[in-house]
Amino acid sequence: MKILIVGQGISALTCAKLLLLNGWQVQIMSTSSYSKPTLVLNPMTYNLLQNIWSIDLTAISYQFSRRKVLWAEDLITHDNGGYTIEGDTLQKYLMQNLHSFHHKDISTQKHQGKLDFNHLLKTRANKNFWFINASGREKKTSNNTHTTNSYGNRLIVSFNVKLRKESETCWTETTKNAWFFLAPSTKKTGVLQIMLPKPNSNFKELIEETIFIKDQIESYYITAKFKAFPQISFPLYGKNWSSLGEAAMCFDPLCGDGTGYAIKEALLTTAIISSIAKGIPFEDCLNHYKYRLCKTFIVHIQNSLEYYMKAFTSSIWQLEIQSMKKIIHHPEYHKAINYNFNYTLVGNQDLKQIEISKNTPLTKKKNDKL
Residues that bind ligand FAD (CB under 6 A): 6-12, 29-31, 33-34, 36-37, 39-41, 87, 115, 134-137, 139-141, 156, 226, 228, 245-246, 253, 256-260, 262
- Closest approach of ligand FAD to the CB of residue 369, in Å: 44
Residue 41 vs 98, nearer CB to ligand FAD = 41
Residue 181 vs 291, nearer CB to ligand FAD = 181
- Closest approach of ligand FAD to the CB of residue 85, in Å: 9
Residue 134 vs 232, nearer CB to ligand FAD = 134
- Closest approach of ligand FAD to the CB of residue 358, in Å: 29
- Closest approach of ligand FAD to the CB of residue 359, in Å: 29
Residue 266 vs 280, nearer CB to ligand FAD = 266
Residue 120 vs 311, nearer CB to ligand FAD = 120
Cis ω on the peptide bond leading into residue 199 (within 30° of 0)?
A: no
First vs last C-alpha separation in the chain:
47
Residue 27 vs 353, nearer CB to ligand FAD = 27
- Closest approach of ligand FAD to the CB of residue 366, in Å: 47
- Closest approach of ligand FAD to the CB of residue 292, in Å: 16
